[in-house]
Structure 1
Amino acid sequence: MIEAAMIWNEPNNKSHWDPEIDPDWTLFAEMAIGAADAIASVNPDVTRVLGGISPIDALFIRNMQGKGVLDHLDAVAVHGFPLDWNLWKVDEWPDKLDEIHAVTDLPVWISEVGVSTFGAEEVQLWGLQRTAELISGRAPRIQWYSLFDLPQAWGATTRHKEAEGSSYYRHFYMGLIREDGTPKPTLEKFGDYTPEFGLCQWFHFEDPRLDEAVAWMKRLGVKHLRTGLSWADSFRPNALGWFDRQMEKLADFDVTLTFCFTPEHRGIAPHHTSAPLVPEEFAAFCAAMIERYAGRAEHRIKGAA
């Protein structure tokens, strides 16, 4: 059920990693290497993926290569939202992928791609169709973001909030299904692209949408799902109970588990974007979750008979 572990989310985006604390990503590299090795020590069959980068930046991948991070991973990943946040056109998708392939021999996953309905729902439908034309067959994993709109009352995980202007509010309209549970026009069309297209859906702690999500994904023919287990949430009361329920419900899918979010009391600064005080603690969390949900495997060279 657990096919991959993704180490952090958008590490080159200050909404997810604080560059004031770690301006050259040395602390991130240390943390990522430790986590990757800890995951491999528990189950080397789990594919280890660098957290999807946003923006798509070949220089960041070169930085990770120079710091030795990519030597401990099996794939890298990118996130692209040219119709909402990125400063490039949707037709540039092949070029953006080529930029990353030019600096690494590792497979390049597209672990988030999507189009909001902030301006018009018809834009999302057209965007799905055009995006599929451009990227189908070009990545081992393509995960559309997302199934559900983000409820307005929850708030988006970003450091800038309303200071982003309309960019902030687009976070709430990325789903194929509206906040009230009704389908958007794109939902029916999405099934034409599964199972090649999977989904990225984040579930909040004790998310009431979990059962509905499972039902919709099965109806749509989704096979591959990317979601997350929050290191910060692991300190909440009954955290393991929620994690167990979430993973049990997702047992019929090939899941990429994203590990991220620093607990406030375990960061250099009290924020989820902070480098941890003790990077080994993040590695231990990753290893424990892989052992719990993917199980231990014999220590062997990945791919060997």
Structure 2
Amino acid sequence: MIEAAMIWNEPNNKSHWDPEVDPGWERFAEMATLAGRAIREAHPTLPRVLGGISPIDPGFIRLLGAKGVLDQLDAVAVHGFPLDWNLWQIGEWPAKIAEIRAVTSHPVWVSEVGVSSFGAEEVQAWGLDRTAELLIGQAPRIHWYSLYDLPRAWEATTRHREAEGSSYYRHFYMGLLREDGSPKPSLERFARHAPAMGLCQWFHFEDHRLDEAVAWMRRLGVRYLRTGLSWADSFRPNALDWFDRQMQALAEFDVTVTFCFTPEHRGIAPHHTSAPLVPQEFAEFCAQMIRRYARPGVDAAGTAPVGAG
């Protein structure tokens, strides 16, 4: 059920990795290296991908390369939202990918790209078409974020929350579907670009949207999906039952599973962004999930861009 394993999410973004606990990314490098080795031992061919970086920073890739992290990876990934949060224009996407290609020989995935409908749903639809035009054929995987709007009763995974002003509320308008499940104009646009463009959809613990999401992805012709299995959630009651249900529901798709989120009681600081007290524990969680869900005999993905000749 897994085509690739992604180690963490946005490790150079303080909403996902606390730089006060780990200012030089020494602890992250140790954790990611151990996880990469553990995944390889659990599955000899499954691609291992660095969690998508945000911002897109070649210096961060060089830093991890100097620490030996890239030796335990098969691809790196980037995230970009130029119409919402980034200080660069959408037409710069090819140049941004080229910046990362210049500092690593690994394939460069786009594991999150999106446009919110916060300002106007027509802007999102235009941005989706433009993104597809710029990226299809340029990256082995392109995961559009996301299928669903984030429910307003939930919190966005960002450290600053409402202090971001209107930027915070854009997090709740990234979906092709509104919170109530009704389609936006961008949904039909997305269908034109599938399966070359995949989806990124995070499912919360016991997420009520799971089965409906699967039905929508079938209709849209989705082949590639990125989602997550939370290390923190693994300590909840009935966690494996939920993981089994989620992964069984997604079995027909080529799933990149992201392993992230430190359990509060296993972090140096009591927060999901903290470096763990014992990095080997994260590696063991990754290996356990791979043994449970990865298809045997998966070959390394990302050797040729989707849509390339």
Which interval holds the TM-score relative to the shorter structure? Answer: over 0.9
Q: CA deviation at 1:46?
A: 1.1
The residue aligned with 1:40 is: 40
- For the 8 Å contact 2:3–2:295, the answer to whether it is kept is no
1:73-112 maps to which residues of 2 (within 5 A)? Answer: 73-112=73-112
The residue aligned with 1:162 is: 162
The residue aligned with 2:224 is: 224
How many residue pairs align between the two structures?
Answer: 301
* 2:214 maps to 1:242: no
1:64-213 maps to which residues of 2 (within 5 A)? Answer: 64-213=64-213
Letter in 2 for 1:206: E
Displaced runs of 4 or more, over 6 A: none
Give the SS at the match of 1:226: strand
Q: CA deviation at 1:269?
A: 0.1
- For the 8 Å contact 2:8–2:259, the answer to whether it is kept is yes
Q: CA deviation at 1:295?
A: 5.6
Q: Counterparts of 1:174 and 1:301 in 2: how far apart (Å)?
A: 30
The residue aligned with 2:15 is: 15
Q: Counterparts of 1:296 and 1:4 in 2: how far apart (Å)?
A: 12
Percent identical across equivalent pairs? 76
Q: 1:186 to 1:55 in 2, by over 3 A?
A: same
The residue aligned with 2:274 is: 274
The residue aligned with 2:31 is: 31
Q: Counterparts of 2:122 and 2:101 in 1: how far apart (Å)?
A: 32
- For the 8 Å contact 1:11–1:51, the answer to whether it is kept is yes
- For the 8 Å contact 1:262–1:276, the answer to whether it is kept is yes
Deviations 1:17-70 (A, max 9, x none): 000111110100000000010000010221100000000000000001000000
- For the 8 Å contact 2:261–2:272, the answer to whether it is kept is yes
Deviations 1:47-94 (A, max 9, x none): 100000000000000001000000110000000000001000001001
- For the 8 Å contact 1:4–1:255, the answer to whether it is kept is yes
Unaligned 5+ runs, structure 1 = none
Q: CA deviation at 1:134?
A: 1.0
Q: CA deviation at 1:297?
A: 6.4
- For the 8 Å contact 2:48–2:74, the answer to whether it is kept is yes
RMSD between superposed Cα atoms in Å: 1.5
Deviations 1:246-279 (A, max 9, x none): 0000000000000000000000000000000000
Q: CA deviation at 1:296?
A: 6.2
Q: 1:86 to 1:296 in 2, by over 3 A?
A: same
Deviations 1:87-146 (A, max 9, x none): 000010011000000000000000000000000000000001111111110000000000
**What TM-score does the superposition give when structure 2 sets the normalisation length?**
0.95
Q: Counterparts of 2:297 and 2:288 in 1: how far apart (Å)?
A: 13
Q: CA deviation at 1:301?
A: 11
The residue aligned with 1:63 is: 63
Unaligned 5+ runs, structure 2 = 302-309
Q: Counterparts of 1:129 and 1:243 in 2: how far apart (Å)?
A: 33
Give the SS at the match of 2:225: strand
